[in-house]
Amino acid sequence: MSAECSSYLNADKVLVSGFSCPRTGGDARAVYCCGFQDVKYCCDDPHSFFPYEHSYMWWLSVGALVGLSIAAVVLFAFIITVCVLCYLFISTKPRSKLDTGLSLQM
Render pLDDT for 66-87 as a digit per residue (tens, 0 to 9).
Answer: 899 999 999 999 999 999 999 9
In this structure, the answer to whether residues 59 and 79 fall within a common structural domain is yes
The answer to whether the bond into 94 is cis (omega within 30° of 0) is no
In this structure, the answer to whether residues 37 and 56 fall within a common structural domain is no
3 against 74, higher pLDDT:
74
> Which of 15, 21, 17, 16 shows the shortest CA–CA distance to 3?
21
Is residue 99 in a domain?
A: no
CA within 13 Å, CB half, 68: 6
Render pLDDT for 4-20 as a digit per residue (tens, 0 to 9).
Answer: 889 999 889 999 999 99
pTM for this model (two decimals): 0.43
Host domain of residue 28: 1-41
Is residue 100 in a domain?
A: no
